[in-house]
Each structure stands twice: as C-alpha cells, then as structure tokens.
C-alpha cells in the first residue's frame, strides 16, 4: 500500500476513493479497521488569503443571513440594533447619575465608549468558536474557504458596532458634547486593530473547537474574567498609577500590554474627549479629576502600530493552524 507525499496530492495507487488534493495516510495492510487521517497540504498564506477574497460574496451572504435570522419576523428589524444599545445607555445614565451617583460627568458615555470595543470582541468570539460545528452539514459536503464562517461572525459584530456608534453619536448630540475630532484617525486605526485581532482569535478558536468542544465554553468563561481587567467600568489612570506607586512597573507594563486596552483607550479618548474634568465635591467645588489616560497622540499611534503588527502575526498564525487541521473536520464532525 503506497503512502502519499504530505506536500502533494495522493498517489493514484491508493485508489479512486483516496484521490483527494491532500496528503492521505492510508491504513496499512492488515490494519483496515483503523481510520486513516487526512493532513492538509501546506497551502501558502497568500493562496489562503486569495481564497478568502474569492469567497467574499459568500462572506457577505453569511453576514446578511446572521442579521436576517436574528431579527426575523420582527417589526423593527435592524432598528433593534439601535434600540437595544440606546436603552442600555439610557439606563447607565440614570443609574450612575441618580442612583449610584458617580461624580464623573457623563460617566455613562465614558462607560459606553469602552463597551463599543468590548461588545464587538465579546460578541464575535463565542459565535465564532462554535460556527464550524454549527455548520457541520455544509462543511462536510461543500468545498469552500471555511475561514469565512468565523469571519462572518466578526463581520456581523462589526455591523452591530456601526449601529451602536450611531446611538453614541445621538447621545453626544443630545448632551451637546463634541468628541475629540482630532483623534478620529486614531479611533479608525484602533478599529482596524480590533477587527484584525478579533478575526485572528475567531479563526483559531473555531478550528480548535472542532477537536476540543470545551473551547467554546472556555471562551465564554475567559471573556467574563477578561472584561474586568480592561479599564471600562473604572479609571485606567488610577489603576496604572497604583501599580507605579507600589513599585510594580512590570505589572503596569503587563496591564498596558493587554491587546484590548489600547483600543479601549483610543475609543474613550475620541468619544469622551476630555482627559481632565471638574468634579464638584464637598468643600472642593472645582476639584479636577483625571478620567482618561494622559498619553500623547504619538504614544497612541505607537501603541496601535505595535498592536497592528501583533494582530497581523496572530492572523497569519491562526490561518496556518486552521489550514493544518481543517483536513479532518469532516471526520471530527
């Protein structure tokens, strides 16, 4: 019994049933009871990107399908994507203004600016982790660039982000507040980083979950813990200053190295706009508090540029892993 080369197509000696364009490890004579394993050939990254680009119409179709299924038979349809975040933001404003009484002016807007980032990240990953398993029928029967399945989850979450940004803009207009327009290119840069990072993790967890079904549950647990390590519901500068004050600069560096942290800081810097605010407290009617990180524009650019390189490297690595394990998807599913 002949064995096909790992880098090329299977040999014709293996018979018509094993003539796949991948290297096939056939069972040895006398051991036909053991299943053979398929190891996909090493497809160059450029070719994988080209296949994804050629499947862009399928990607758009899957995103549209996700949106239609989510709001099927509803009267408002996609408007629910704006109604839901609007209600959430209004509740935040009432709670922190009149109940919890946070002294930071318009704290709800500060909070929602960070949630814009987190909502995309935390919406895309759980859906992507189970998307290959959920679409087992077409994965086993149809040949296509399977990476578009997790990427469709990222695309859907990005569409929801667009509607949430509209809600944020309406609230800013209602409160007669202006974002820091000079930071608009920065927040667009941060959005590119966010999409690339999320896409890389989505592709990776979707592939691994086919073999280890606990991954989708682990992702949900890790996201819940990760949320509290990002400065969304609390002040970043306060935590960072405490690390430095206790001579824990290495921990402060790790805190800033969180890939989501620079993106959240950039969104907060643009939408909230003010680094320092005046907070009225007893005996100090004009007490000044630092709400946002006091980094310079160039430092933000450096952080986001470094994150861009890391996100691209993660994306390349995820595509390599996906390409090496997808050959056995049909068997595992």
Indicate if 35 and 123 belong to the same structural domain.
no
Indicate if 36 and 49 belong to the same structural domain.
no
Indicate if 72 and 217 belong to the same structural domain.
yes
Could you tell me if residue 81 is inside a domain?
Answer: yes
Could you tell me if residue 333 is inside a domain?
Answer: no
How many angstroms separate the CA atoms of 107 and 98, rounded? 12
Does the pLDDT value for residue 62 go beyond 50?
A: yes
Indicate if 9 and 138 belong to the same structural domain.
no
Mean pLDDT of the chain: 82
Could you tell me if residue 126 is inside a domain?
Answer: yes
Indicate if 11 and 147 belong to the same structural domain.
no
Could you tell me if residue 331 is inside a domain?
Answer: no
Indicate if 28 and 159 belong to the same structural domain.
no
Q: Is 153 exposed, middle or buried (0-12, 13-18, 19+ CB in 10 A)?
A: buried
Q: How confident is the model at residue 189 (pLDDT cuts 50, 70, 90)?
A: very high
Indicate if 36 and 138 belong to the same structural domain.
no
pLDDT, tens only, 210-233 = 998 889 899 999 999 999 999 998
Q: How many domains does the chain have?
A: 2
Indicate if 98 and 36 belong to the same structural domain.
no
274 to 152, 226, 278, 329: CA distances (angstroms):
35, 26, 10, 50
Indicate if 33 and 75 belong to the same structural domain.
no
pLDDT, tens only, 232-289 = 988 888 888 888 888 788 888 888 889 999 999 999 999 998 888 777 666 666 777 7
What is the DSSP track for 95-138?
IIIIIS---STTHHHHHHHHHHHHHHHHHHHHHHHTHHHHTHHH
Could you tell me if residue 180 is inside a domain?
Answer: yes
Indicate if 155 and 228 belong to the same structural domain.
yes
Between strands 23-25 and 37-39, the pairing is: antiparallel
Could you tell me if residue 228 is inside a domain?
Answer: yes
Indicate if 101 and 112 belong to the same structural domain.
yes
Residue 230 CB partners (closer than 8 Å, separation 6+): 114, 118, 258, 260, 261, 264
Could you tell me if residue 232 is inside a domain?
Answer: yes
The percentage of residues in the chain with a pLDDT greater than 70, rounded to a whole number, is 83
171, two tokens: 């609230």
Residues forming a β-bridge with 37: 25
What is the mean predicted confidence (pLDDT) over 100-111? Answer: 84
How many angstroms separate the CA atoms of 173 and 167, rounded? 10
pLDDT, tens only, 146-184 = 899 999 999 999 999 999 999 999 999 998 989 999 999
Q: How many CA atoms lie within 13 A of 230 on its CB side?
A: 28
Owning domain of residue 4: 1-42
The percentage of residues in the chain with a pLDDT greater than 90, rounded to a whole number, is 42
What is the mean predicted confidence (pLDDT) over 107-133? Answer: 92
Could you tell me if residue 332 is inside a domain?
Answer: no
Indicate if 144 and 38 belong to the same structural domain.
no
User: Which among 240, 93, 96, 109 has a CA at the least distance from the CA of 173?
Assistant: 109
């Amino acid at each position: 019994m002949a064995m096909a080369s790992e880098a090329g197509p299977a040999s014709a000696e293996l018979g018509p049933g094993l003539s796949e364009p991948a290297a096939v490890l056939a069972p040895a004579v006398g051991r036909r009871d053991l299943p053979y394993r398929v190891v996909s050939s090493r497809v160059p990254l450029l070719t994988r990107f080209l296949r994804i680009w050629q499947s862009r119409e399928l990607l758009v179709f899957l995103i549209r399908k996700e949106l239609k299924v989510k709001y099927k038979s509803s009267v408002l349809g996609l408007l629910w994507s704006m109604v839901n975040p609007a209600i959430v933001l209004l509740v935040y404003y009432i709670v922190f203004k009149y109940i919890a009484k946070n002294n930071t002016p318009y704290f709800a807007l500060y909070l929602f600016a960070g949630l814009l980032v987190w909502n995309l990240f935390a919406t895309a990953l759980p859906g992507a982790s189970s998307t290959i398993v959920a679409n087992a029928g077409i994965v086993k029967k149809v040949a296509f660039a399977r990476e578009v399945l997790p990427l469709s989850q990222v695309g859907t979450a990005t569409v929801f982000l667009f509607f949430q940004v509209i809600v944020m803009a309406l609230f800013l207009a209602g409160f007669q507040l202006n974002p820091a327009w000079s930071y608009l290119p920065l927040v667009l840069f941060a959005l590119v980083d966010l999409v690339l990072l999320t896409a890389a993790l989505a592709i990776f967890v979707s592939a691994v979950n086919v073999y280890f079904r606990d991954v989708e549950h682990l992702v949900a647990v890790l996201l819940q813990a990760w949320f509290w390590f990002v400065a969304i519901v609390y002040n970043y500068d306060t935590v960072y200053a405490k690390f430095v004050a206790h001579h824990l600069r290495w921990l402060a560096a790790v805190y800033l190295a969180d890939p989501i942290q620079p993106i959240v800081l950039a969104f907060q810097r643009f939408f909230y706009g003010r680094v320092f605010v005046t907070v009225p407290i007893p005996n100090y009617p004009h007490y000044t508090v630092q709400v946002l990180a006091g980094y310079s524009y160039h430092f933000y650019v450096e952080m986001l540029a470094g994150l861009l390189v890391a996100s691209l490297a993660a994306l390349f690595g995820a595509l390599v892993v996906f390409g090496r394990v997808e050959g056995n998807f049909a068997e595992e599913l």
